[in-house]
Amino acid sequence: MARLVQKFGGTSLADIEKIKRVALRVAREVARGHDVAVVVSAMAGATDRLVGWTRETSRLHDAREYDVVVSSGEQVTAGLLALALQNVGVDARSWLGWQIPIRTDDVHGKARIRSIEIAELKRHLSLGQVAVVAGFQGIGPDGQVTTLGRGGSDTSAVALAAALKAERCDIFTDVDGVYTSDPRIVARARKLDKITYEEMLEMASQGAKVLQTRSVEMAMNHRVRVQVLSSFVDAPGTLVVDEDEIVEQQVVSGIAYSRDEAKITVQKVADRPGVAAAIFGPLAASAINVDMIVQNVSEDGLADLTFTVARADLDRAVAVLEEKRATLGFAALKPDSNVVKISVIGVGMRSHAGVAQQMFQTLSEKGINIQVISTSEIKVSVLIAAEYTELALRALHTAYGLDAKE
């Protein structure tokens, strides 16, 4: 008898009818004789509403109380799904993060799972009871509720699958798998039967929200077999696998985009040793991550330094640098949040030259200016003006031969 973890996202649990359908989907696996742990997200839109309420109440809110509020959406769906399962004759109970417990660090709002004490949950599963676990939440070292960052119930599911040594972790969502690019923007995107952990990790961290980045990291480290599939259509989805399981490797397997970027240009700083350290040091000290960086030498021993930060950090980054204006001695700071980062990803890039060049050529043919570039072994990213997002994604998708046949 296999042990399975099934995770259902917000759209799959958006109303009572849908929750009842999910119960039937779970009941099917139970009828096959499997032990099933289910991880739930909040109803679609619920978490956004809760986040909105905390902001409305207090702009500079206490992150511990933020977690108390935003974790509550999953409590509702966990209880409702347990009820719906009972109604179709399946023994089930709900589990909140602290009841298992799922222990995390103390970084409220973006906590990391440290350990899961699995014995009690396992005992219930072995008695044939379905465990409906509230995703996205855990308990911190101080005994307070924590949340795992937006999209975090994917990570709850993979962590639980690792702890239970589950045969597979099925992530049920509103698309029927991982596509070569976001199917909501690129109509000709193709569903992938398989994708490597590494590529999925890059796709997720470069903006493809279909899986939370940390869930992929965890799946890769613990070798959890993850499948992404539709809650609404009964068909196999995409398996996330090791590289050697992929028979025909494409050079580029996917294209991701992220609107979560903002650009800052520090104009006319002295072009001498120590300047980069003086700029990026204070940002790091304020826990602001810098992603892409480019430096242009201008005249008279001066340079312009352009870099990107998360959009949510833009105001803080500007404030930190303004505070150091006297010591840094720059002429002006130019923030710009009207940008998007587009990334092409593929493990085949390791052995193929020309991938970046094809990207630059394609964008240039569409008249799209590239503002910043960064690369890694298996990806090339560019920053462009936000209004070109759709055009760039579709043009690149065609250029790399990824389009589905009509």
Contacts with ligand ADP by CB under 6 A lie at: 9-11, 41, 151, 173-175, 178-179, 181-184, 203, 208-210, 254
Nearest distance from C-beta of residue 366 to Mg ion, angstroms: 31
| Member of 61, 64, 150, 191 binding ligand ASP (CB under 6 A) | 150
| Member of 5, 6, 10, 138 binding ligand ASP (CB under 6 A) | 10
Rounded to the nearest 5 percent, the helix, strand and coil shares of the chain are 40, 25, 35
73 interacts with Mg ion by CB under 5 A: no
Q: Are 133 and 39 in contact (CB under 8 A)?
A: yes
Specify the residue, 129 or 212, whose C-beta has the smaller distance to ligand ADP: 212
Distance CA(58)–CA(185), nearest Å, equals 35
3-class SS of residue 101: coil
Q: How many CB atoms lie within 10 A of CB 82?
A: 23
207 interacts with Mg ion by CB under 5 A: no
Facing residues of 307 across strands? 264, 293
Nearest distance from C-beta of residue 154 to Mg ion, angstroms: 6
Question: x/- string (CB under 6 A) for ligand ASP, residues 69-88?
Answer: ----x---------------
Nearest distance from C-beta of residue 106 to ligand ADP, angstroms: 25
| Member of 6, 12, 47, 205 binding ligand ASP (CB under 6 A) | 47
The residue of the chain with the least Cβ separation from ligand ADP equals 9
Q: Which of residues 22-41 bind ligand ASP (CB under 6 A)?
A: 41
Closest CA to 118 of 81, 78, 167, 159: 159
Nearest distance from C-beta of residue 152 to ligand ASP, angstroms: 5
136 interacts with ligand ASP by CB under 6 A: yes
Q: Which helix (H) or strand (E) holds 383?
A: strand 379-385
Question: x/- string (CB under 5 A) for Mg ion, residues 142-161?
Answer: ---------x----------
Q: Are 10 and 174 in contact (CB under 8 A)?
A: no
Q: Which helix (H) or strand (E) holds 361?
A: helix 355-365
Closest CA to 81 of 68, 91, 94, 71: 94
3-class SS of residue 396: helix
CA 33 to chain centre: 32
Per CB under 6 A, residues contacting ligand ASP are 9-10, 41-42, 47, 73, 135-136, 150-154
